[in-house]
């Protein structure tokens, strides 16, 4: 429960800073909705009707971009956050912004990309079948940046996505008095020292 | 390391070798804190030293105040009186002058 | 004892200060010497190949403790924690912002243990562990009281306490220890308490106490030591024997035990509740200290283990004793080490139990009688001690660690007020002296770090005329009695929860003739908890 509130609502962040929470949450929710909508590029064959429901999620792109701009603004404007930022922190925001904006440009301007072609390409990827791609610049930028993002995912701070589920201060159960938790290395150590301990029990008083 | 009257003291001003202690050292230490040792100071210092000799540790504040009160009059058996003698605390400052080790812990 | 700094002024509202880089730069607290290092198994002085040793140690900690690795990896530098640390709020040094403090350690971790940091150190802020960095570690990881307030506000629950424990462990491994903690630990694991109080002195002190209580109340309250076969073993911080105002709390425990009529004892072998092993991050030393309590419990054949008013002691007891020494319940049948003790302990009671839980339970069962008016001269507020508030529970109910102490206090006094909501309970501000910082050579950071708590206290002093501050932690009590006067408070306003209990409790007088009262015994008022 604690974990669910944390992942869905960013409860701790809400407690600590309303602005960071607002922008951060906007961005993440926007991203999630946009990603769901992207499923249609990977769906094999005709789209089931449920996809009509997710169609309006395209507006989530604005939430995502607004969130990102807000986060960037804070990182630059607030002295304390500027102090703790490394170049990669800015680059990551820029990367996400480029992806978000280039995507939005495709959807909301007249520069529509041939989505059927994209779909063929994307579906092809799933089966290692390399199809042709549209060649509009903003599309190429969009997809290239997404590839970059996927490439750096495992070696960057994007690891916070799985990380949050492993955080001991959020996922541990409060039962230390009722249950003995002991890690393998500590148990090994305990066994090794047991003999010596028994020898001293009750002796030096 | 600093020295007082030729005896080594640590960074907090306590004697490194407790057996170095003599009255001059106490007087000298007190001077460093702008205190001139009076008869009342010596009463406390002597009690601290006696207690330490018996128990190898400084007395608890409560034990000290009670003992001082018993020996030298009830009006002296409180920590306000002891603080008036040793503004940095009878435990810490008093022990230092008396050549006792610094009390440690959550105190 | 540097006096050349300004005591912060108390603002009307707590503001986030403008950063002042380097205001708290320095050499840190006094360093430990060989005499104190060797008994703990640490090198006596900085080793020659310290960089290698340090990096290896970091690798070991990363693989041993999931917390360390997750906390180092998961931070996204969102900045939510930056204004949450009392030491930053009080000192304005940016390296006292939790994330910046962690980054001292994290930047080295990135350099040596992550792909990006190995190949693009500049890009991700990865740094080499050089002399300057090591000095910064020593200085700034001894400006963290491991109070965990930052972790409450972190979206990933990153706990700076864990990082500062890890950093101190690495420092000890290369031979750089803190004098205060390591000297104390040496005494704790050889003599049995942080003071180095030997058995005869302890016995004498307790006798003195019995005498005092009998003089004052006419009741022979006993303070048994090493009494085999007693029901309860009380483990309390040794400051309770030694310091003011702690000892009045100890008087309170004794009176409660006396009224309940239970048999109890303390142990001269394990005469310490505090466990500084946690502060320096060492599992082994923390375990050594905890095993003394195990041994005392086995030797004295007690069926319950109870903990006195001490913040981090309760964290160690509540969260770690079961693991460290088997004091607890629920061990596997095949777990001989733990079962040996757990079979002896009475499973009808929580093991270990906090003295507040015990007193609270007696109050609820109407076993204790109080004259609340004895505390009518006070208006009381309660300081949630960090380790109790954010790392433990009481009573087995959600938020019990906040509810129970308040209910005990309200049961014994009429005037109670809480401080500002954002400064208590899980958001409580540390007293400023926890985590191994309660030493005179750190007085500057202790005073500055106390500012947020003092500010909240000043508010209730103004609005509700609060004149008594209650804490259930030996460190808080000592720290407050030192820093209160710096902020124009009465140093004697800090008291133990059980001091209030002690003042209000109505003791059954022995049935002898001379109890034919000079003072008529008032009608006993039985108070129930709201």
* Residue C65 Cα to chain centre, angstroms: 22
- With cut-offs at 50, 70 and 90, classify the pLDDT of residue A194: low
pLDDT at A198: 52
Digit-coded pLDDT (tens) for A11-30: 999 999 999 999 999 999 99
pLDDT at C512: 58
How many CB atoms within 10 Å of residue C508?
Answer: 12
Digit-coded pLDDT (tens) for C259-305: 999 999 999 999 999 999 999 999 999 999 999 999 999 999 999 99
Q: Using CA atoms, how far apart are residues C455 and C388, in angstroms rounded to an integer?
A: 21
pLDDT at A61: 92
Per-domain residue ranges for chain B?
2-97
Give C266's strand partners: C225
Mean pLDDT of C32-56: 96
Across chain A, what does the average pLDDT equal? 86
pLDDT at C303: 97
- Per-position DSSP letters for C312-342, written without gaps between them: HHHHIIIIIHHHHH--SS---TT-HHHHHHH
In this prediction, the residues of chain B whose per-residue pLDDT falls under 50 are none
Across chain C, what does the average pLDDT equal? 94
Lowest mean pLDDT among A49-58, B39-48, C117-126, C439-448: A49-58
- With cut-offs at 50, 70 and 90, classify the pLDDT of residue A115: confident
- With cut-offs at 50, 70 and 90, classify the pLDDT of residue C523: very low
Instruction: Write down the architecture of domain B2-97 according to CATH.
Output: Orthogonal Bundle (1.10)
Q: Using CA atoms, how far apart are residues B96 and B80, in angstroms rounded to an integer?
A: 19
Strands B7-9 and B2-4: antiparallel
Strands C264-265 and C468-471: unpaired
Mean pLDDT of C474-489: 96
pLDDT at B18: 94
Mean pLDDT of A154-169: 88
Digit-coded pLDDT (tens) for A64-95: 999 999 999 999 999 999 999 999 999 999 99
Digit-coded pLDDT (tens) for C150-165: 999 999 999 999 999 9
Lowest mean pLDDT among A193-197, C78-82, C241-245, C327-331: A193-197
- With cut-offs at 50, 70 and 90, classify the pLDDT of residue A113: confident
Contacts of C187 in chain B (CB under 8 A): 104
Whether the Cβ atoms of residue B23 and residue B5 lie closer than 8 Å to each other:
no
Residue C414 has pLDDT above 50, yes or no: yes
pLDDT at C518: 46
Out of 1.10.1060, 1.20.1300, 1.10.530, 3.40.190, which CATH number does the structure's domain C34-177 have?
1.10.1060
Interface pTM, i.e. ipTM: 0.93
Most A CBs within 10 A among C101, C153, C155, hence the mutation to make, goes to C155
Contacts of C195 in chain B (CB under 8 A): 57, 103-105, 107
- With cut-offs at 50, 70 and 90, classify the pLDDT of residue A42: confident
Residue A201 has pLDDT above 50, yes or no: no
Find all residues with CB under 8 Å of C59, minimum gap 6, and list them. C112, C113
Contacts of B61 in chain C (CB under 8 A): 242-244, 247
| C277 in contact with chain A, both atoms CB, cutoff 8 A | no
Q: How far is B101 from chain C (nearest CA, A)?
A: 11
Give the start-end residues of each E strand in C236-290: 264-265
Per-domain residue ranges for chain A?
2-200
Residue C355 has pLDDT above 50, yes or no: yes
- With cut-offs at 50, 70 and 90, classify the pLDDT of residue C526: very low
Digit-coded pLDDT (tens) for C430-472: 999 999 999 999 999 999 999 999 999 999 999 999 999 999 9
Copy the structure tokens of residue A79: 């002295």
Strand order in the sheet with C304-307: C264-265, C232-235, C304-307, C353-354
Number of helices (H), then strands (E), belonging to chain B: the values are 5, 2
CATH topology of domain A2-200: Fumarate Reductase Cytochrome B subunit (1.20.950)
Per-domain residue ranges for chain C?
34-177, 187-355, 368-504
pLDDT at A48: 79
- Per DSSP, helices labelled H in A39-167 are 50-54, 60-77, 79-84, 87-108, 115-126, 137-152, 160-166
Most C CBs within 10 A among A154, A176, A195, A196, hence the mutation to make, goes to A176
Higher pLDDT, C439 or A56: C439
Give B7's strand partners: B4
Q: Chain C: residue nearest B102 by CA? A: C195
Q: Chain A: residue nearest C269 by CA? A: A205
pLDDT at A202: 43
pLDDT at B1: 66
């Amino acid at each position: 429960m604690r974990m669910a509130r944390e992942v869905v609502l960013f409860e701790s962040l809400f407690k600590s800073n309303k602005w960071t929470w607002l922008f951060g949450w906007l961005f993440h929710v926007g991203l999630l909705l946009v990603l769901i909508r992207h499923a249609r590029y990977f769906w094999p064959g005709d789209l089931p009707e449920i996809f009509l429901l997710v169609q309006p999620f395209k507006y989530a792109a604005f939430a995502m971009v607004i969130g990102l701009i807000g986060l960037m603004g804070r990182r630059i404007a607030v002295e304390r956050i500027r102090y703790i930022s490394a170049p990669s922190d800015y680059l990551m925001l820029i990367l996400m912004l480029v992806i978000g904006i280039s995507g939005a440009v495709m959807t909301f301007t007249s520069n529509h990309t041939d989505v059927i072609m994209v779909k063929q390409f994307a579906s092809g990827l799933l089966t290692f079948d390399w199809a042709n791609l549209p060649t509009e610049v903003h599309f190429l930028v969009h997809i290239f940046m997404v590839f970059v993002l996927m490439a750096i995912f495992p070696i960057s701070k994007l690891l916070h996505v799985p990380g949050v589920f492993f955080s001991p201060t959020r996922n541990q159960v409060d039962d230390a008095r009722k249950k003995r938790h002991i890690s393998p290395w500590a148990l090994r150590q305990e066994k090794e020292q047991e003999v010596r301990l028994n020898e001293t029990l009750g002796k030096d008083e | 390391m600093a020295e007082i009257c030729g005896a080594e003291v640590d960074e907090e001003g306590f004697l490194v070798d407790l057996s170095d202690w003599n009255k001059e050292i106490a007087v000298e230490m007190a001077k460093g804190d702008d205190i001139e040792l009076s008869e009342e100071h010596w009463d406390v210092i002597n009690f601290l030293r006696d207690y330490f000799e018996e128990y190898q540790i400084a007395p608890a504040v409560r034990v000290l105040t009670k003992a001082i009160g018993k020996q030298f009059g009830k009006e002296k058996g409180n920590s306000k009186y002891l603080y008036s003698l040793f503004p940095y605390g009878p435990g810490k400052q008093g022990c230092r002058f008396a050549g006792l080790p610094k009390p440690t812990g959550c105190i | 004892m540097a006096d050349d700094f300004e005591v912060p002024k108390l603002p009307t509202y707590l503001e986030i200060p403008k950063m002042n880089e380097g205001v708290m730069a320095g050499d840190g607290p006094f360093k430990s010497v060989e005499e104190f290092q060797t008994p703990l198994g640490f090198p006596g002085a900085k080793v020659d190949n310290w960089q290698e040793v340090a990096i290896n140690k970091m690798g070991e900690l990363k693989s041993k403790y999931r917390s360390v690795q997750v906390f180092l990896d998961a931070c996204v530098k969102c900045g939510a924690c930056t204004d949450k640390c009392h030491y930053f709020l009080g000192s304005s040094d940016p390296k006292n912002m939790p994330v910046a403090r962690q980054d001292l350690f994290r930047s080295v971790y990135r350099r040596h243990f992550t792909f990006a940091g190995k190949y693009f150190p500049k890009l991700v802020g990865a740094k080499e562990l050089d002399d300057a960095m090591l000095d910064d570690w020593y200085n700034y990881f001894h400006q963290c009281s491991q109070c965990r307030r930052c972790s409450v506000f972190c979206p990933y629950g990153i706990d700076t306490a864990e990082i500062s424990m890890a950093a101190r462990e690495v420092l000890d491994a290369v031979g750089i220890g803190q004098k205060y903690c390591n000297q104390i630990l040496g005494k704790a694991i050889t003599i049995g308490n942080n003071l180095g109080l030997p058995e005869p002195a302890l016995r004498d002190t307790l006798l003195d106490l019995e005498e005092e209580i009998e003089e004052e109340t006419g009741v022979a309250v006993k303070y048994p030591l090493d009494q085999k076969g007693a029901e309860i073993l009380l483990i309390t911080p040794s400051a309770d024997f030694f310091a003011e105002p702690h000892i009045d709390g100890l008087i309170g425990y004794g009176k409660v035990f006396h009224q309940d009529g239970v048999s109890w004892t303390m142990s001269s072998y394990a005469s310490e509740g505090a466990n500084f092993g946690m502060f320096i991050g060492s599992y082994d030393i923390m375990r050594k200290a905890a095993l003394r309590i195990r041994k005392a419990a086995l030797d004295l054949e007690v069926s319950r283990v109870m903990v006195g008013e001490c913040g981090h002691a309760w964290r160690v007891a509540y969260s770690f004793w079961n693991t460290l020494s088997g004091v607890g319940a629920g061990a596997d049948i095949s777990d001989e080490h733990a079962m040996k003790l757990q079979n002896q302990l009475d499973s009808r009671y929580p093991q270990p139990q906090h003295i507040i839980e015990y007193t609270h339970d007696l109050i609820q069962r109407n076993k204790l009688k109080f004259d609340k008016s004895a505390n009518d001269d006070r208006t009381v507020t309660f300081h949630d001690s960090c380790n109790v508030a954010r790392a433990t529970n009481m009573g087995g109910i959600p938020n019990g660690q906040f509810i129970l102490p308040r209910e005990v206090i309200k049961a014994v006094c009429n005037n109670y007020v809480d401080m500002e909501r954002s400064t208590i309970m899980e958001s409580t501000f540390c007293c400023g002296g926890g985590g191994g910082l309660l030493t005179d050579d750190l007085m500057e950071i202790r005073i500055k770090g106390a500012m947020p708590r003092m500010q909240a206290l000043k508010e209730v002093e103004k609005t509700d005329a609060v004149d008594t501050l209650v804490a259930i932690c030996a460190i808080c009590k000592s720290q407050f009695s030192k820093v209160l006067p710096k902020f124009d408070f009465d140093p004697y306003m800090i008291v133990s929860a059980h001091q209030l209990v002690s003042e209000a409790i109505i003791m059954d007088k022995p049935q002898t003739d001379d109890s034919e009262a000079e003072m008529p015994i008032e009608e006993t008022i039985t108070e129930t908890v709201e």
